[in-house]
């Protein structure tokens, strides 16, 4: 009995790989097309990109700022892994409470505002200088509010993805899109910090939240959040 030629096996494997890729591509296109068919879809996508931008813009420069201020890497790591981690966990629970307690629009307002204003704690630290307690307070404020914003944001993304045919695919696409604000858009943070100095830089980090809040107000006025299903946290 002749064995199957090796080329046939390779061709079959290539065909199966191509078929799997085609299915994934069709699923992604279908999920994205369904999302774009919704009212104010493009504005919602822009909001997804911008909501965590304020966090990313400041977060990119937090470690360089702390080192430049005169703290050691060990000082910074000890606080981040100690009280900073505790603040993150507490903020996560607080964000879950807010997301359950209030409608999506209100919870996003709370998360968006507090995560932006927390940047002022680093502006204050830049004025205070090398002070361990001030550093701990600034990191706690940043981690606590960032966790609140993240949990509320994830709840919003989940509410956007309640079409049972595309839930997983749409969530994957939206989280990938949200990463744009954390990577590409925040790439100029170093240049801004060098140009303005640390106190003004962190004030600017607050101001970069304004576009997302303007979009939030516009989407709220358009009834975007009323069309969403219940938030699950």
Task: Please check whether residue 138 lies inside any domain of the structure.
Answer: yes
- Looking at the fold, whether 202 and 217 belong to one and the same domain comes out as yes
Kindly give, in sequence order, each residue whose CB lies less than 8 Å from that of residue 58, ignoring residues fewer than 6 positions away: 119, 122, 142, 189, 202, 205
Verify that 99 and 160 share a domain, yes or no: yes
What pLDDT was estimated at residue 138? Answer: 97
**Does residue 101 share a domain with residue 188?**
yes
Angle between helices 132-160 and 119-128 (to 10 degrees): 170
The reply to whether 19 and 57 lie within a common domain is no
Tell me if 153 is assigned to some domain: yes
What length is written for the chain?
A: 233
Report yes or no: 230 and 103 within 8 Å, Cβ to Cβ. no
Q: Is residue 214 part of a domain?
A: yes
**Within 10 A of 150 (CB to CB), how many other CB atoms are there?**
19
* Shared-domain flag, residues 27 and 64: no
Both 2 and 84 in a single domain?
no
Q: Give the CATH number, domain containing residue 157.
A: 1.20.1250.20
Q: What is the mean pLDDT of each run of 10 residues along the chain (233 residues)?
A: 53 55 70 78 94 93 95 94 96 97 96 97 96 96 97 94 80 87 84 95 97 97 81 59
Closest CA to 59 of 214, 178, 216, 181: 181
Assess whether 84 and 116 both reside in one domain. yes
Residues 112 and 71 in one domain: yes
- Check whether residue 46 and residue 28 sit in a common domain: no
Is 178 inside any structural domain? yes
What is the tally of structural domains in the chain?
2
- Residue 204 falls inside a structural domain: yes
Are 136 and 186 part of one and the same domain? yes
Token reading at 10 = 């390779």
Which pLDDT value is given to residue 29? 80
Whether 91 is covered by a domain: the verdict is yes
Same domain, yes or no: 94 and 146: yes
pLDDT the model gives residue 193: 95
Gap between the Cα atoms of 181 and 122, Å rounded? 21
Per the domain annotation, does 233 fall within a domain?
no
Range of the domain at 1: 1-37
If asked whether residues 108 and 121 sit together in one domain, one would say yes
Distance (Å, rounded) from C-alpha 210 to C-alpha 208? Answer: 5
pTM over 0.95: no
Residue 232 lies in a domain: no
């Amino acid at each position: 009995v002749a064995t199957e030629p090796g080329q046939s096996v390779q061709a079959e494997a290539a065909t199966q790989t191509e078929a799997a890729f085609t299915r994934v591509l069709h699923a992604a296109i279908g999920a994205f097309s369904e999302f774009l068919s919704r009212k104010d879809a493009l504005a919602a996508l822009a909001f997804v990109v911008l909501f965590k931008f304020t966090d990313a813009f400041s977060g990119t420069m937090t470690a360089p700022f702390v080192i430049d201020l005169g703290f050691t890497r060990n000082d910074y790591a000890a606080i981040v892994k100690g009280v900073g981690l505790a603040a993150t966990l507490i903020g996560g629970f607080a964000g879950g409470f807010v997301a359950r307690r209030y409608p999506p629009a209100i919870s996003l307002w709370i998360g968006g505002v507090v995560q932006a204003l927390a940047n002022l704690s680093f502006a204050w630290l830049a004025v205070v200088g090398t002070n361990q307690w001030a550093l701990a307070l600034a990191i706690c404020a940043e981690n606590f509010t960032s966790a609140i914003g993240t949990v509320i944001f994830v709840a919003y993304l989940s509410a956007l993805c309640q079409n049972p045919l595309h839930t997983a695919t749409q969530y994957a696409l939206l989280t990938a899109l949200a990463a744009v604000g954390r990577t590409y858009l925040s790439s100029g943070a170093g240049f801004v910090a060098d140009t303005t100095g640390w106190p003004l830089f962190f004030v600017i980090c607050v101001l970069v939240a304004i576009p997302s809040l303007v979009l939030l107000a516009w989407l709220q006025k358009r009834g975007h959040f009323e069309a969403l299903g219940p938030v699950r946290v």
